[in-house]
Amino acid sequence: MLKTIRGTKDILPEEISSWQNIEKTARNIFLLYGYREIRTPLIEEAELFYRSLGDASEVVVQKQMFQVKRAGSEREGDSNLVLRPEGTAPIVRAYIEHALEKKEGFVKLYYLGPMFRAERPQKGRLRQFHHIGAEAIGSESPDLDVEIISLVNRLLREIGVEGFKIVLNSLGCPEDKKKLSGVLRSKLKNKLADLCPDCVSRFDKNTLRIFDCKNQQCRNTLTDLDLKDDYLCGSCQKHFSRVKEGLKDLNINYEISHFLVRGLDYYTRTVFEITHKELGSQDALGAGGRYDNLVRDLGGSGAGAIGFALGVERILLVAKSEKTKEENRLVYLAGMGEQAQKKVLKLLDDLRGKGIQADTDYQDKSLKASLRKANSLGVRFAVIIGEEELKKNTVSLKDMVSGEQKEIKQEQLITELTQNAKLKAQN
Ligand code: HAM
């Protein structure tokens, strides 16, 4: 039997309402905050990610990018295409390519969609997963950092996620990052024996990533170094203070952690992660931060920018199910016999024309089997037309929640469903 690839998932109809609810909530929140949707291709030049995520980032080092090749083709250049591992770099590419910086200057964009990383699958870690994210490009204002973090906070609450934590740090400008890296190297130089093999190799390639290590002994070694945030220059200090004040003014709780450095190279100044303890080892629901030099690094002007992305699969692991379920508004029609089924088809068309969700079984079931099917679909009302009803031009309307059943004239059905049961589809 052919199956899905490890680390990918079918999202079945029974799960889809949770996905759609999250997506609908996200779109509403983005609208409230003035973000507009952007959709970029799933395939991009590998170069885009090499240049933005950095040679030392996990995605590049651990060869997490899926290459795209034409079947049967081994031509040089075919390996230059990859499935996007994240959304920020493609959006910055689009911002530059379509001269949005000249046309609009400051833009606020959002996106929903699949990302691909060739990681070893485990709970909360897939090879195809989905991001809900936003990127605000063209401003260095710390107030924008506050807006982005408050948006994430509101979005998660609206979706029904509780118990998450916002972890915050500032990496400073590139000079500050270098300074921090230098301090760390000099303090760790004589302690390499206390670090795990991964961290020893990070020491040479990308010292800051040692902060990301989950190994308890590495963590203890770092804690003992007693690092302070005095690596930040005056203007980065000021920026960070304003972000912290702004969050306080909005009553948004956060925790400062100097361990937070993030796995992608483009970050500068504010970085944040949303964690949830129920997630286990992959505890990040989402993350984001400033990337003030990325637009310039990819060939645009020096526009400052900040963004975030939440992992939808991880949200689903912790969201409270009541809030992600939608009320079933379906009306299920059952006709007993050929003539009644003909009537059913006409009524279905009338109901759908009035914006009422309606369906029938198309399997010639008995009344009992039809009602059983209606029950299993969790429908709101069943409409039954048997021989009696056909003769009298009536229908039997069964409320599947209360179990009540009444016979009404066929022409009353729409009024009954739209006005009394208020079933008209919501926009
Ligand atoms: P990221 O931290 O690589 O950041 O991914 C963001 C979130 O995507 C993670 O916190 C996690 O919830 C989810 N995620 C990542 N990898 C996987 C995976 N293999 N399986 C399931 N979920 C996963 C970014 O991608 C940045 N582009 C975020 C950003 C936007 N920074 C600025 N703007």
pLDDT digits (tens, 9 = 90+) for 118-130: 989 999 999 999 9
- Which of these, 10, 9, 13, lies nearest to 328 by C-alpha position? 13
When the pLDDT of each residue in the chain is averaged and rounded to a whole number, the result is 91
Q: How many A from CA of 309 to the centre of ligand 1?
A: 6
Q: How many A from CA of 142 to the centre of ligand 1?
A: 22
| Mean pLDDT, rounded, for 381-401 | 95
In this prediction, residue 230 carries a pLDDT of 84
In this prediction, residue 62 carries a pLDDT of 67
In this prediction, residue 423 carries a pLDDT of 73
> Of 49-63, 156-170, 335-349, which range is least confident?
49-63
Lookup: tokens for 173? 């400008």
**Residue 278 main-chain phi, psi, to 5 deg:** -70, -10
Per the listing, tokens 């089997």 go with 369
pLDDT at 208 over 90: no
What percent of the chain stands above pLDDT 70? Answer: 95
Q: Say if strands 284-290 and 107-116 run parallel, antiparallel, or are unpaired.
A: unpaired
**Residue 411 main-chain phi, psi, to 5 deg:** -75, -10
Residue 277, Cβ density class (10 Å: 0-12 exposed, 13-18 middle, ≥19 buried): exposed
CB of 297 sitting under 6 A from ligand 1: no
In this prediction, residue 427 carries a pLDDT of 42
pLDDT tens sequence across 253-280: 999 998 898 877 889 999 999 999 999 8
pTM of the model: 0.89
Per DSSP, the three-state class of 212 is helix
Per DSSP, the three-state class of 284 is strand
d(CA 86, CA 72): 28
Where residue 324 falls among pLDDT bands split at 50, 70, 90? very low
Q: Would you tell me the crossing angle of helices 46-53 and 88-97 to the nearest 10 degrees?
A: 110
- Which of these, 390, 403, 418, 411, lies nearest to 334 by C-alpha position? 390
Q: Which of 109, 308, 312 to mutate to test the pocket of ligand 1 (most atoms within 8 A of CB)?
A: 308
